[in-house]
Amino acid sequence: MKLTISFLVCVFVFSFAFAGGLVTNTNQSAEFMRVMNRNATIFTDAVYFNPAGTAFMEDGFHFYLSNQTIFQKKTIENSYMYLNDGKYEGEVKAPIFPNVYAVMKKNKIALSLGFGPVGGGGSAEFKEGLPSFEIGFSDLVPSLNSQGVQGYKVDLYFKGSSIYYGFQSSFAYRFSEKLSIAFGGRYVKAMNRYEGYIKDVEINPGGNWMKASDFFAGVSQQYAGAAAEAYQAYQYYTAAGMEDSASYFYSLYDSYSKLAIEMTFKSNLTSDQRADVKQTGSVFIPIIGLNLAFSPDFRVSFRYEGLGKMVVKNDTKKDIIVGYDEEGNPITQFPDGEEIGSDIPSMLSFGLFYQVAPRIRVLSDLNYFSNKSIDWGGKEKFVNSEFEAGLGIEYILSPKVLVSCGYLFSKTGATDDYQSDMSYGLDSQSLGFGGIFELFPGLTASVGISKTFYKEDSRSFSHVLGNKPIPVTEKYDKDTFVIAFGLNYSIGR
């Protein structure tokens, strides 16, 4: 019998990229959530979206603070015939997703600082585990059918959290009324946390429920007893000089001993286990920007963020045993001290702003994420480059009130071989709306609400039971809703 128990986790599994690439968040302000397109802005969130545009802001000090509350639901359906229930749901919670920006602008020069979760920013909880956790236990039923096993029980739980804090600084210079450039960088600190357990694995041989670990321990003792008897016979026939009989009983002893060890391993694998792992890493990413203002009513922007070569390192307090090597040493899922490639892809961004009428503005974004030359622990072989594109409209109701709406399409680079229950990327379409309200001179408040609709995807693969491949289909879906609030304070000089 082959028993596989797997907590297949890699750094970007629960990266929670809400808008952007597979590991990159571009939803970096409440303004973004209300219009979905901000790459050509010269508002204070230009610190992130258009750093060169900060040189076109009014002279003075500008400070911005916003928070997004994000709700996401993940759904996986697995068709494997022996699973008790092939539907698994997980909730992603990100009640606090802050962005802080500050700009000091004087004449042609602007200095800016920014902070935000450029990747991750939430926690995903699967109270019933995932298919890849449970399939190995469901195999106990067909594998032990000859022992009268008709069902299994298991208590599975997994929770993953991830956040990539980004600390950014830029210098922008305006060469003329039409051109500015910016140079800067972002220091990214990645922190991931994985917690989970496997417990109360039970089977029902003969209709009586019992712990699977006790069942295998009992079988191991039976084989150990048979091995001891065979060894005694081997010693007897060796002493009697009967080599053929001695050889026969030694082969029985060797076979029973190996089976006893195998059953002990299976007893250990079906015993209660727990995972408690932290992963940390950091990287510096260079940023350059360009802003072209063809007129006060029309401008375009450019931003390039370089490839971030990063590894995260396991700090493992408790680990899950997933198997044993040929020497009988346990193989664990999160070896303490192991380093995993977790690069942040380079990004090329374009933006457009056009005031088509005194009260109407049109905004458009295009972001391209290059997944070439990245290291994702092997999964980079299964991704292509990604992009997102959108269009937004702002309408000035009055000098103190502006309303907006926007659309964003995201095309992931995930191929069929990339998709799994623990790491999948889906094409999506997002709608956002909201507005800005002047509270008093220098202070504005903004609100944005967005809904993301994902294109369901699936993967077909074979699960090997014994020596027989069994076809399995797995479906993936998501649902995301975000509400955001922001405040901006400007002091002119």
Using CA of residue 99, residue 104, residue 105, residue 111, what is the dihedral sign?
negative
pLDDT (0 to 100) of residue 4:
44
DSSP character at residue 400:
T
Contact yes or no for 123/93 (Cβ under 8 A): yes
Find the distance separating the first CA and the last CA of the chain, reported in whole Å: 77
Give the CATH H-level superfamily of domain 30-206+276-492.
Answer: Outer membrane protein transport protein (OMPP1/FadL/TodX) (2.40.160.60)
* Arithmetic mean of pLDDT, 189-197: 92
pLDDT (0 to 100) of residue 18:
63
SS3 140: helix
* Arithmetic mean of pLDDT, 369-376: 89
pLDDT at position 259 over 70: yes
In single-letter form, the type of residue at position 476 comes to: Y
CA 333 to chain centre: 17
* Arithmetic mean of pLDDT, 418-433: 90
Note the pLDDT tens digit of each residue in 96-132.
Answer: 999 999 999 999 999 999 999 998 877 888 888 888 8
Distances (CA, A) of 366 to 56, 309, 411, 482: 21, 24, 11, 21
Contact yes or no for 354/298 (Cβ under 8 A): yes
Q: Kindly give, in sequence order, each residue whose CB lies less than 8 Å from that of residue 440, ignoring residues fewer than 6 positions away.
A: none
Task: List for the chain the helix, strand, coil content (%; round to 5).
Answer: 20, 55, 25
SS3 262: helix
Note the pLDDT tens digit of each residue in 196-217.
Answer: 899 999 999 988 999 999 999 9
pLDDT (0 to 100) of residue 373:
86
Among residues 57, 191, 188, the alpha carbon closest in space to that of 114 is found at 188
* Arithmetic mean of pLDDT, 426-436: 96
Cα–Cα dist 311/178, whole Å: 41
Cβ density class 38-67: b for 16+ within 10 Å, e for less: bbbbbbbbbbbbbbbbbbbbeeeebbbbbb
Cα–Cα dist 362/356, whole Å: 7
Cα–Cα dist 418/414, whole Å: 6
